[in-house]
A and B are shown apart, each in its own frame.
Chain A
Amino acid sequence: MDKQLDLLQGTLDMLILKAVSLGPLHGYGILLRIQQISKDRLEIQQGSLYPALYRLEHQGWITSEWGESENKRKAKYYRLTAAGKRRFQTEAEKWNRMTDVIAGILGTKPEEV
Chain B
Amino acid sequence: MRLWSLLRSWLRATLRRSRMESEMDAELRFHMEAYAEDLMRGGVARHEAMRRARLEFGGIERVKEEGREARGANLIESLVQDLRYGMRMLRKSPGFTSVAVLTLALGIGANTAIFSVIYSVLLRPLPYPDSQRVYQVSFSYRGQLDPHNFSFRDVQFLEQRDAWSQGIAASTPTGLTFSNGSAAERVDALYVTAGYFSVLGVPPFLGRDFQPEEDREPGANVAILNHGLWQRGFALDPSVIGKNILLDSLPYTVVGVMPAGFDSHPSADVYLPIAHVARTAGSGQNLTVIGRLKDGLTPRAAQARIEPLSEPFFRTKNVPENSIGDIRFVLTPFQKMLAFEVSDSLFILLGSVAFVLLIACANIANLLLARGAARTREIALRRALGASRGRLARQLLTESVLLAALAGICGVLLARVLLALLLALAPPALPRITEIGVDRWTLLFALLITAATGILFGLAPVAQSTGPDLNVALKEGPGRGTAGAGRGRLRAALIVSEIAISLILLAGAALLSTTFVNLLHTDPGIDPHRLLSVEIWLTGSRYHSAPELAAYYNRAVEAIDRTPGVESAAVVNAGQPLERGGNLPLIIRRPDQINSVDYRAATPGYFHTLSVRLLGGRDFSDADSETSQRVAIVNASFARRYIENRDPLGELVDLNEDKGRRTVIGITADIKSNPATPAEPTVFIPAAQADFETSQIFDNWIPSHVLVRTSGDPLRLATEVQNQLRSVDPIVPIGRTRSLDQVLAASVALQGFMMVLVGVFAALAVLLAAVGIYGVMTYSVAQRTSEIGVRMALGAGSGHVLWLILRHTIRLVGIGVLVGLAGGLALTRVLANMLYGVRPYDPATFLGVATALVVIALVASYLPARRAMRVDPMVALRYE
Query: Which residue of A has the minimal Cβ distance to B56?
Result: A46
Do A69 and B62 form a contact, CB below 8 Å, given A50-B67, A57-B9, A76-B23? Answer: no
B30 at interface, CB cutoff 8 A: yes
Do A51 and B67 form a contact, CB below 8 Å, given A46-B31, A71-B37? Answer: yes
A35 to B70, CA, bound (A): 24
Give per-residue flags for A69-90: 1 if the beta carbon is below 8 A from chain B beta carbons, else 0.
1010111100000010000000
Residues of B within 8 A of A (CB-CB), count: 30
From 22 to 77 in chain B, residues with beta carbon under 8 angstroms from any chain A beta carbon are 23-24, 26-28, 30-31, 33-35, 37, 56-60, 62-63, 66-67, 69-72
B6 at interface, CB cutoff 8 A: yes
A95 at interface, CB cutoff 8 A: no
Contact B63 A50 (CB under 8 A): yes
A101 to B60, CA, bound (A): 39
Do A28 and B70 form a contact, CB below 8 Å, given A48-B63, A74-B26? Answer: no
- Inter-chain contacts of A71 with B (CB < 8 A): 34, 37
A60 at interface, CB cutoff 8 A: yes
Contact A28 B67 (CB under 8 A): no
Do A47 and B58 form a contact, CB below 8 Å, given A73-B30, A74-B26? Answer: yes
Contact A59 B34 (CB under 8 A): no
B5 at interface, CB cutoff 8 A: yes
Contact B57 A46 (CB under 8 A): yes
Give per-residue flags for A41-52: 1 if the beta carbon is below 8 A from chain B beta carbons, else 0.
000011110111
Do A55 and B70 form a contact, CB below 8 Å, given A26-B30, A47-B57? Answer: yes
A27 at interface, CB cutoff 8 A: yes
Contact B30 A69 (CB under 8 A): yes
The prevalent SS among residues of A at the interface is helix
B2 at interface, CB cutoff 8 A: yes
Query: Which residue of A has the minimal Cβ distance to B66?
Result: A51
Shortest CB-to-CB span from A4 to chain B, Å, is 16
Partner of B28, one of A50, A58, A59, A73: A50
- Inter-chain contacts of A55 with B (CB < 8 A): 70-71
- Inter-chain contacts of B31 with A (CB < 8 A): 26-28, 31, 46, 50
Shortest CB-to-CB span from A36 to chain B, Å, is 13
Contact B27 A58 (CB under 8 A): no
A47 to B62, CA, bound (A): 9
Contact A83 B2 (CB under 8 A): yes
A47 to B35, CA, bound (A): 12
Contact B9 A58 (CB under 8 A): yes
Query: Which residue of B has the minimal Cβ distance to A45?
Result: B58
Contact B5 A28 (CB under 8 A): no
- Inter-chain contacts of A74 with B (CB < 8 A): 26, 30
Contact A60 B5 (CB under 8 A): yes
Partner of B58, one of A46, A54, A83: A46
Partner of A60, one of B9, B23, B24, B27: B9
Query: Which residue of B has the minimal Cβ distance to A73?
Result: B30
Query: Which residue of B has the minimal Cβ distance to A81?
Result: B5
- Inter-chain contacts of A31 with B (CB < 8 A): 31
Contacts across chains A and B counted by CB atoms under 8 Å: 76
Query: Which residue of A has the minimal Cβ distance to B72?
Result: A58
Contact A59 B26 (CB under 8 A): no
The prevalent SS among residues of B at the interface is helix
Query: Which residue of B has the minimal Cβ distance to A66?
Result: B23
A90 to B251, CA, bound (A): 93
Query: Which residue of A has the minimal Cβ distance to B26?
Result: A74
Interface centre among A54, A59, A73 (most CB of B within 10 A): A54
Contact B63 A51 (CB under 8 A): yes
Contact A54 B67 (CB under 8 A): yes
Query: Which residue of B has the minimal Cβ distance to A30?
Result: B31
- Inter-chain contacts of A73 with B (CB < 8 A): 30, 33-34
Partner of A28, one of B24, B30, B62, B71: B30
Query: Which residue of A has the minimal Cβ distance to B67?
Result: A54
Query: Which residue of B has the minimal Cβ distance to A83?
Result: B2
A59 to B9, CA, bound (A): 8
Partner of B30, one of A46, A52, A75: A75
Partner of A76, one of B27, B57, B66, B69: B27
Shortest CB-to-CB span from B64 to chain A, Å, is 8
- Inter-chain contacts of B30 with A (CB < 8 A): 26-28, 69, 73-76
A54 to B26, CA, bound (A): 14
Shortest CB-to-CB span from B743 to chain A, Å, is 75
- Inter-chain contacts of B5 with A (CB < 8 A): 60
- Inter-chain contacts of B27 with A (CB < 8 A): 26-27, 50, 75-76
Contact A58 B57 (CB under 8 A): no
Shortest CB-to-CB span from B68 to chain A, Å, is 8
- Inter-chain contacts of B62 with A (CB < 8 A): 47
Contact B6 A60 (CB under 8 A): yes
- Inter-chain contacts of A59 with B (CB < 8 A): 2, 6
Give per-residue flags for B1-17: 1 if the beta carbon is below 8 A from chain A beta carbons, else 0.
01001100110010000
A38 to B37, CA, bound (A): 22
- Inter-chain contacts of B71 with A (CB < 8 A): 54-55, 57-58
- Inter-chain contacts of B67 with A (CB < 8 A): 50-51, 54
A98 to B872, CA, bound (A): 67
A30 to B5, CA, bound (A): 24
Shortest CB-to-CB span from B573 to chain A, Å, is 86
A27 to B5, CA, bound (A): 22
- Inter-chain contacts of B70 with A (CB < 8 A): 51-52, 54-55, 58
- Inter-chain contacts of A47 with B (CB < 8 A): 57-60, 62-63
Shortest CB-to-CB span from B55 to chain A, Å, is 10
Partner of B35, one of A28, A58, A83: A28
- Inter-chain contacts of B69 with A (CB < 8 A): 51
Contact B34 A28 (CB under 8 A): yes
A26 to B5, CA, bound (A): 22
- Inter-chain contacts of B6 with A (CB < 8 A): 58-60
- Inter-chain contacts of A26 with B (CB < 8 A): 27, 30-31
Shortest CB-to-CB span from A84 to chain B, Å, is 12
Shortest CB-to-CB span from B3 to chain A, Å, is 10
From 540 to 571 in chain B, residues with beta carbon under 8 angstroms from any chain A beta carbon are none
A47 to B56, CA, bound (A): 8
**6 A-B pairs with C-beta separation under 8 A:** A26-B31, A46-B56, A50-B67, A51-B70, A58-B13, A58-B70
Give 10 closest A-B pairs by Cβ, nearest first.
Answer: A47-B58, A51-B66, A55-B70, A47-B63, A54-B70, A60-B5, A28-B34, A54-B67, A28-B31, A46-B57
Residue numbers of A with Cβ under 8 A of B are 26-28, 31, 45-48, 50-52, 54-55, 57-60, 69, 71, 73-76, 83
Known: A47-B60, A60-B5, A73-B30. 7 other contacts (CB 8 A): A27-B31, A46-B57, A50-B67, A55-B71, A58-B10, A58-B72, A73-B33
Residue numbers of B with Cβ under 8 A of A are 2, 5-6, 9-10, 13, 23-24, 26-28, 30-31, 33-35, 37, 56-60, 62-63, 66-67, 69-72
